[in-house]
Every structure is written in C-alpha cells, then in structure tokens.
Amino acid sequence: MKILLAEDDRKVAEFVVTGLEESGHSVDHVTDGREALSYCMYNDCDIAVLDRMMPGMDGLSVLKALRAAGKGLPVLMLTALGDVEARVEGLQAGADDYLAKPFHFSELLARIVALTRRGRETAEVPELKVHDLTLDLLARTAHRQGHLIELQAKEFALLEVLMRNAGRVVTRTMLLEKVWNFNFDPNTSVVETHISRLRSKVDKPFDPILIHTIRSIGYSIHGPR
Amino acid sequence: MDRGNIFSGGAFRVTVYATTVLVALCITVAFAGYRYIQNEQINQLRGFLAPIGTALHTIQQGEGDAEFLIDARILSRQLEPSGRLIAVFDATGEQIIGARRVTPDITDWSVRALPGPDGTPGQEYYLTASTIGTHTLVVGASLEPVERIGEAFIRILFLITAFLSIIFIALGYATSRMVQLKLERLGDTLALVGEGHTDARLPVSPANDQIDRVARRMNGHLATLSGLMSATKSSAAAIAHDLKRPLARALLGVDRALAQVDKGADPQAALEDTRHELANLTGMFETILRIARIDAGHGEGLGGSVDLADLARDLGETFQVVAEESGQSLALVVPEGRAPVRGDAGMLSQMLVNLLQNAVTHGPPGNNITLSLTCEGRDLCLSVADTGPGIAEPDRTSVLAPFFRADTARTTEGNGLGLALVKSVTDRHGAILTLSDNAPGLRVTVRFPGAVPT
C-alpha cells in the first residue's frame, strides 16, 4: 500500500515512516502543506496522513483543496493533543478519520488499515462471520455453533466493530469512538467491562476463543490460525 | 507632590474657566452699568437744571430785567458751592453773573471742561444756554459727582470680582489637590499590586465620591484578581506535584527495564508499567487542555441541541455494566420522551461519564448508584446519587478545583481533574452544579435552568 505522510516534525515522521515500512507499506514523506497538495494532485496513493499544523499550508486547507478538486482518497488527520474539539471541523472538511498526538503507532496502523479497507468493503453486507460466529446485522442477532446469543445494544455494537475489522487490531480508543462516540479518554474501564461481558457470552460457553486481547493496545477477533 | 499635576487637574481647570467667564461678565456689567448710571445722573441733572432756567425766564418776563438779574445772582451764589453753575451774559457777551468763567456759545446740552476760579485744572460741566430778553443764561452742573458714583460702582464691582475669583481659584486648587492626592494613592496602591502585593487595597474615604466608588469597584476586581492569582499559584503547584508522581514512576519503570536488560531478563513488564504511567500523564494533559479550552470558550453560544434523556439512558446502560462488574448497582430513573437542552453533546457526555465513573470508582461493593432526570418547575435536573462514602461538607467546594483530592480519595484511582472538568462544562452550559449529602453518600445535581419548554 502506498501512503503519503505530510508531517513537519522530523522525529514523529521518522518514527511513523520506519513503522509503516516495517509493516510492508511504501511511504512518501513531505514536510510542507503545499508539497502535500501537489503530491496528491499528481501522484496516486492509497491514503494520505496529514498533520494539521504544517508550514506552507495547514492540513485542513490541504484537505479542503483536495476535496474541492474532487480527490476522494482516504485522509487521516493528525492533530496536537487537546485539539480534539477541532475534530468536527476536520471531519466536516472531509477527513475520514482523526488521530490525536501523541499516539501509539499500532493505533495509527490500525486506523490506516481500517480506512483503506473501508473503501473496498462499502457494499453493505447483511451478515458478518468470524469462524463459527455469525452476526446478523438486519435482525441484530448473534449465533454461534447454532446457539442464539442474547446481546445488549452496546455489546452488539462492540461485536460489530470487532467483526468488521476481523483479523485486525481494533484499539481501545477506536472502540470508544465507534461504540460510545466518546472523543475523549473517559479514564474508565468501560471498554474492558463490556469486552468482559461480551466474552462471557461469546467465548466462555464455546471453544475456541475468538476475542483476543492485544496487550496495552486493544482487541482483535479472529478464528484459530 | 508635583504642582503641575494639580494645575492640570480637572477641578482646577474648571475653576479657571469659571473665573475667566466671571471676570468677562463683570467687565461687561461694569461697562453697561457705568453708562446706565451716568445717563440716569445726567437725566437727574437736567431735571434739576431745566426748571431753574424756566423759573428765571418767567421772572424776567413778569418782573423785568432787574429782578431777573437779582434772583439769578442770588441763585448763582447759593448753588455754586454745590457744584452748580448759573451764569448770565449781557447783550455785549460780557459775563455779569457767575464766579466760574464760561462762554455763552452753547446751543444745546453739552459737556465742557471749565477752568477753576483760581486757575485750577478744569472740571467737566454739563451745560445749556438760553436767551432771556437781551441776556443769555447758562445753567449747568459739575459732572464730578456723577463720575464719583460711577467710579464707586466700578470699584465695588472690581472688589467683588477679585474676591470671587480668589475664592474660586482657591477652591479649585484645593479640590484638584485633594483629587490628585487620592489618585496618587490609587496609583501607589496599584503599583504595589503590580509588584506582587496582591493583598494591597485602595483606600476608600467615607465621602463616597466618584473616586471612592471607582476605588471600591477596583478593590472588588483586585480581590477577584488576587483570588485568581493565588488559585493559579496553588494549581500550578498542584499540577507540578501531580504530574511529578507519574513521571517519577515512569522513570523508575525505565530504570527497572534497563536493569532487566542488563541482567538479560525480559523488560516487557517494566516497559508496560512505564507506558501505563505515561499514558496517564498524557490523559492528564489532555484533560487540563480540555478544561482550559472549555473555559476559554466561555460566553460563546453553544449551537447544538442535546437530548439529556437519551444521553442518560445511553450512558446509564453502559455504566450499569461497569457498576455490576465492581459489585455495585446502577438504577436508571429517566422518564420516557425527550429532554433537549442547548449544548455540546461531546462535553455533556464527558460530564456525565465523569460523574458516573466517580460514583463507581469511589463507591465500595454494594454501592447503589441512581442516575435520574427530573423536571423541577422549568428546570431540568440531572443527578447522580450514590450510597458510597460521600464528600465531607467542607470539601464539597474544593473538590471542584483542579487536582483537589479529598484525603479519603487519595488511595483510589483518578487524577483529581474529573470534577473540575464537570464544573467547567456546567459553567459553560449555564447550568448549576451542586454537591449534596445523599445520607449516606453523595448526590451531584446538574440543574439546567429554564430548559423545560412552557
């Protein structure tokens, strides 16, 4: 996958470029907003990661210019800590996702992967399936090994997010955003307790275990490998 | 004290203007008055002199020239000492009556300077001439008394003007000086405040004049300012203190990891502890910045509409799970239907999360939490009550300050910022936050005034 990174902080850029390349992606790095814009206009890439504050042209203006020019490539905005309120502004300008600095590298990777997959999986599926677990999105029911699993609304939403990203890491922050719509870290065990509930219903009575904890990052749902 | 400051003072300048106007007025009055008095006096003179001429004329016609001349001579002698003048000339133009030399070539009333009988410098006389038989009669009067009265009038007016001017200027100077003294005291006090003596207050005199009223208001502002400054100082100290702990623990974690590496052991656990501490630290910064951002937006309108009932139901369900996991329970008392308030969904959601999480974090197993939404008159009240340890009465205000943690809460999780953020959000929404005794436990109520439509 080809990724454009527009980031003027050399240390952050180095760290991200190394990490992405280690994960098998090809990365082009620019340090200036205008460079980022002309790169996107004349080159093809799968996703652009734009820092909000950049010399030359800020990330938001680059994004607006891109959208105005009809470029629909996925864009992930990076922002400084505490700037989360500006998130709405970014999303309204056409950003596909938003990540606040400092971030965990795996968080960035998980979001990049989720964003690029999204494009390919837009066709709405009526049912999600992981190993022997099926989630009926229309009837809003879950079945495993022929048994109906009773799920509460939040548990269902949680399972849906995990299963839509089956085989990939979903971070705690992503779950807070997608299931609870929190754009802040509530400093609570909300995610942990709900995962624990979900496990007791989805995994405990059955074998093998499907929901896996990725320590200090998040969770992943997948069948035996 | 610099005299220039007094002379440039408003009070002094006003009196100078007033005095100038007074003097100009007096000069005008003096000029007009003098002219008026002179005219009046001259009219009086004419009223006195004209009948004399008429009387002498009647005598000459009735009783002949001899009688006329006798009477004229008598009158002349009698009236001369009081500054009157009666002179008679014969047909040849020779003055035959009257001590003062005069010429008969006078046609109408006119003013002449006549030399004195012994050659003294001339005095002004007001004169007229008439022909009686073959003689010419001149009657007149000295203008000296007229001038004396005019001069007296001017002198009195001058004295009054001078007296008033001096009083005005003195009063102006005194007032200006008093104001200047007060202002200098204000300046000195403010300079003291500027140097860091935030407890300095402006003197307020019992006179309660404009300056005193301004001083009283400034004192109010100074009190707020010094409150803010001491709050900033103490919260800066608290921030430093509270941020130092996780940093110190993170450092320890790194040291431990390095030691593990030296020993050839796996440093993963130590590194994960470190990561946890640093994540906490980031969270604290995030919250501090968030509070600052919410506070900075104070006074700006909040565009959105948030359904409190929906928010309470949604978060209530989520925290029911969290509470049950800690051996506690959460009851949701939210009526059917919508309860919209103007506000920001993200902020209100975080506010309620903080309140619910606080109730769970500080509550023991068996804690009963109630999340309720009620209408009280036109106000919407969102409240979170628990049966936990509660907050002692004296601490209920201080828990709203950043980093404050009641002694009882020192051992539990949390960064002392949760309620500070709640306070910022409620302030931003014009809502009223109250902490009260739930007997036992704590009840936190957020009241949205006037949110219920009529």
B384 has pLDDT over 80: yes
For an interface test with B, give the residue of A87, A175, A182, A193 to mutate (most B CBs within 10 A). Answer: A193
Distance from the Cα of A94 to chain B's closest Cα (Å) equals 20
Among B148, B176, B199, identify where a domain stops. Answer: B148
Same-domain check for residues B322 and B421: yes
Closest CA to A210 of A123, A133, A122, A134: A133
Is position B165 within any domain? no
Tell if the CB–CB gap between A216 and B357 is shorter than 8 Å: no
pLDDT at A120 exceeding the cut of 60: no
Count up the domains in chain B and report the number.
Answer: 3
> Which pLDDT score is estimated for B443?
93
> Is B206 contained in some domain?
no
In a mutational test of the A interface, the residue from B321, B362, B424 whose CB has the highest number of chain A CBs within 10 Å is B321
Most B CBs within 10 A among A92, A105, A188, hence the mutation to make, goes to A188
Do residue B374 and residue B438 come from a single domain?
Answer: yes
> Is ipTM > 0.85 here?
no
Give the largest Cα separation in chain A, rounded: 59
Topology, domain A2-120: Rossmann fold (3.40.50)
Could you read off the pLDDT of B214-268 as tens digits, one per residue? 888 888 888 888 877 877 777 677 677 777 878 888 898 899 999 989 998 888 8
Q: What is the per-residue pLDDT for B199?
A: 82
**Per-residue model confidence (pLDDT) at position B296:** 76
A188/B325 CB distance under 8 A = no
Interatomic CA distance for residues B260 and A75, integer angstroms: 41
- Claim to verify: residue B276 and residue B376 sit in the same structural domain: no
User: Within this chain, do residues B11 and B96 fall inside the same structural domain, yes or no?
Assistant: yes
Mark yes or no for CB contact A186/B272 under 8 Å: no
Cα B446 from Cα B428, distance rounded (Å): 12
Residue B196 domain flag: no
Chain A residue set in contact with B, beta carbons under 8 Å: 81-82, 84-85, 100, 102, 152-154, 180-190, 193-194, 196-197, 215-216
Same domain, B327 and B361: yes
Q: Are A2-120 and A127-221 in the same CATH fold?
A: no
Q: Is residue B204 a part of any domain in this protein?
A: no
If asked whether residues B271 and B289 sit together in one domain, one would say yes
In degrees rounded to 5, what are phi and psi of residue B307?
A: -85, 105
Check B318 against A180: CB less than 8 A apart.
yes
Range scoring the smallest mean pLDDT among A34-48, B51-65, B404-418? B404-418
**CA-based nearest distance A179→chain B, Å:** 10
Residues B432-449 pLDDT 10s: 999 998 888 899 999 999
Q: What is the pLDDT of residue B433?
A: 92
The answer on B141 and B28 residing in a single domain is yes
Which chain B residues touch A152 with a CB distance below 8 Å? 317, 321
Q: Point out the domain boundary residue: B148, B166, B193.
A: B148
B293: nearest CB among A85, A102, A187? A85
Cβ atoms B26, B161 nearer than 8 A: yes
Q: Which residues of B touch A189 (CB under 8 A)?
A: 322, 325
Return the pLDDT at A142: 93
* pLDDT surpassing 70 at residue B299: no
pLDDT, one tens digit per residue, over A44-96 is 888 999 998 888 888 888 998 988 888 888 999 988 765 656 677 777 788 88
The H-assigned helical ranges of B298-392 are 308-325, 345-362
Residues B135 and B266 occupy one common structural domain: no
Q: Tell me, what's the pLDDT at B432?
A: 92
CATH number at residue B436: 3.30.565.10
Q: What is the pLDDT of residue B406?
A: 55
- pTM: predicted TM-score of the whole model, two decimal places: 0.62
Helices (H), ranges, A146-220: 153-164, 172-180, 190-202
Give residue for tokens 């906490």.
Answer: B280
Identify the pLDDT of residue B109.
82
Average pLDDT of chain A to the nearest whole number: 86
CB A61 within 8 A of CB A73: no
- Between A204 and B399, residue with greater pLDDT: A204
Q: Would you kindly state where each structural domain of chain A is located, as residue ranges?
A: 2-120, 127-221
For residues B323-346, average pLDDT: 90
* Cα(A172)–Cα(A103) distance, integer angstroms: 12
Q: Look at residue A158 and tell me whether its pLDDT is greater than 80.
A: yes
**Among the three residues B148, B172, B206, which one is the final residue of a domain in this structure?**
B148
CATH number of A127-221: 1.10.10.10
CB pairs under 8 A between A and B: 68
Q: What is the mean pLDDT of residues B283-288?
A: 80
Q: Are residues B230 and B250 in the same domain?
A: yes
Kind of pairing between the strands at A127-130 and B95-97: unpaired
Q: Which domain holds residue B285?
A: 222-296
Q: Which residues contact A174 (CB under 8 A, 6 or more apart)?
A: A107, A110, A111, A114, A161, A218
A187–B276 CB contact, under 8 Å: no
Distance from CA of B277 to the nearest CA of A (A): 12
Q: Percent of chain B beyond pLDDT 90? A: 19
* Least Cα separation, residue B195 to chain A (angstroms): 34
B354 belongs to a structural domain: yes
What's the average model confidence in pLDDT over B48-53? 86
Contact B317 A152 (CB under 8 A): yes
pLDDT in tens, B374-383: 998 889 999 9
Nearest to A184 among B290, B317, B415 (CB): B290
State whether B61 and B86 are in the same domain. yes
In this complex, do B286 and A188 lie within 8 Å of one another by their Cβ atoms? no
For residue B99, tell me if it sits in a domain: yes
pLDDT(A152) > 80: yes
Band of the pLDDT at B117, cuts 50, 70, 90? Answer: low
The pLDDT tens digits of the residues spanning B99-113 come to 777 777 777 788 888
For residue B354, the chain A residue with the least C-alpha distance is: A186
Residue A81 has what pLDDT? 60
Q: Is residue B376 located within the same domain as residue B280?
A: no
Average pLDDT over residues B157-170: 91
Give yes or no for residue B194 having a pLDDT over 60.
Answer: yes
Same domain, yes or no, for B23 and B109?
yes
- Does residue B189 form part of some domain? no
